[in-house]
Amino acid sequence: MEKVLESRGLWFAYDDDYVLEDISVSVDRSDFVAIVGPNGGGKTTLVKLITGLLQPTMGTLTVLGGPPAKAGSRIGYVPQFSTMDASFPITVLEVVLQGLFHKSMIGPAWKRDAVEQGLRSLEQLGIADLAGRHFGQLSGGQKQRTLLARALVSSPELLILDEPTSSVDIAVEEDIYELFKELNSVMTILLVTHDITFVSSYVNKVMCLNRRSACHATEEIALERERIAPYGHKVTEIRHQCGL
């Protein structure tokens, strides 16, 4: 099976504070992997390493057969939620076209084929009619679809999603996850989430991350009863043997 992502003895520290320790994981092509763990457990740091924004302190990490920084447009990334100023004058189509930007580009104009590519990405997400709309005027669900269209516009082989439905209601959430299921037929997906119960029917692997890592096939995970956490949200207890 072709490896899309593989790490061996991966360590990372901010200054002298290690947040990832001895991470050895592999992700096969067409996997749909949920990454779960507590806040501060290293999920965001791992995503930054995979996308080449950070370099390992020790160990090795390959993405799509080479160094993460070389993967470029072969990786699509959807952040937890955009912090873009709602008053910033940018259209939905212009947001999507950001996914095609690269360092060799000169000037603000987009070529016709790039615009057509952006419109196709919006069509794929069912929001082509919003192309000329001001991004700040969109609903939460529409914004999230726009950000997903931006990630997909370059036709990536690996899609990374960081809490992609944290700002949408349950009806929109189900719709978006069905779309992820369709996309998984043509790309590998890594999904950072706290809601393992909801995504368990979509993913085939669960990576538990709390400084160290353990990876399980979905059928190895036993989902326990729901309870109310101290911060007021429902969470699901997970029983397994990794000790994280």
Which pLDDT belongs to residue 227?
40
In a domain, 140, yes or no: no
* 17 lies in some domain: yes
Residue 183 belongs to some domain of the structure = yes
**Which domain covers residue 30, as residue numbers?**
3-84+157-239
Does 210 reside within a domain?
A: yes
- Is the C-alpha dihedral spanning 152, 157, 161, 164 positive or negative? positive
> Residue 20: which CATH number?
3.40.50.300
Strand arrangement, sheet containing 205-210: 75-78, 158-162, 188-192, 32-36, 205-210, 212-217
Identify whether 20 is part of a domain. Answer: yes
Predicted confidence (pLDDT) at residue 156 exceeds the cutoff of 70 = yes
pLDDT at 167: 67
Cβ proximity of 10 and 55 under 8 Å? no
Q: How confident is the model at residue 105 (pLDDT cuts 50, 70, 90)?
A: low
Residue 117, pLDDT above cutoff 60: yes
Name the token pair of 41.
């457990």
- Which is more confidently placed, 99 or 110? 99
User: At 209, is the secondary structure helix, strand, or coil?
Assistant: strand
In a domain, 15, yes or no: yes
Task: With beta carbons less than 8 A apart as the criterion, state whether 145 and 153 touch.
Answer: no
Query: Residues 20-32: pLDDT tens digits?
Result: 999 999 999 999 9
Average pLDDT over residues 166-185: 82
Average pLDDT over residues 29-58: 94
Burial, 79: exposed, middle or buried (Cβ in 10 Å; 0-12, 13-18, 19+)?
middle
Residue 12 lies in a domain: yes
| Domain count along the chain | 1
pLDDT digits (tens, 9 = 90+) for 53-63: 999 999 999 99
Query: Phi first, then psi: what are they for 219, rounded to 5°?
Result: -70, -10
- DSSP assigned state of 66: B
CA dihedral 214, 215, 219, 223 (to 10 degrees): 50
Q: Output the pLDDT for position 149.
A: 94
- Mean pLDDT, to the nearest integer, of 41-58? 95
CA proximity to 5, closest of 65, 69, 74 = 65
- For residue 220, pLDDT beyond 60: yes
Cα distances (Å, whole numbers) of residue 137 to 86, 91, 145, 190, 209: 7, 10, 14, 29, 36
pLDDT reported for residue 64: 96
The answer to whether the predicted template modeling score (pTM) of the entire model surpasses 0.75 is yes
Residue 114 placed within a domain? no
